[in-house]
Amino acid sequence: MEPIRIIPCLDVKDGRVVKGVHFVNLRDVKDPVEAAAEYEKEGADEIAFLDITATVEGRKTMVELAAKVKQQVRVPFIVGGGIKTTEDMDKLFQTGVDKVSINTAAVKNPPLIKDASAEYGQRVIVAIDAKGTENVNSGFEVVINGGRTLTGLDAVNWAGQVESLGATEILLTSMDADGTQDGYDLGLTRSVAEAVSIPVIASGGAGNLEHLYQAVTQGKAKAVLAASIFHFRQHTIREAKEYLQSKGIPVKL
Active site residue 28: no
The kind and range of the H/E element at 248 are none
CA-CA distance, 25 to 80, in Å (whole number)? 20
Bridge partners (DSSP) of residue 223 are 5, 201
Q: What angle do CA 203, 59, 230 make, to 5 degrees?
A: 30
In the DSSP assignment, the letter for residue 2 is P
Angstrom distance (rounded) from CA 217 to CA 4: 11
Q: Exposed, middle or buried: residue 96 (CB in 10 Å: 0-12, 13-18, 19+)? A: middle
Let me know: does 23 contact 178? Beta carbons within 8 Å: yes
Q: Assess whether 115 carries a catalytic annotation.
A: no
Torsion sign, CA atoms 72, 76, 82, 88: positive
Instruction: Check 129, 154, 178, 185 and give the catalytic one.
Output: 129
Indicate the DSSP class of residue 252: -
Q: Annotated active-site positions, please?
A: 11, 129
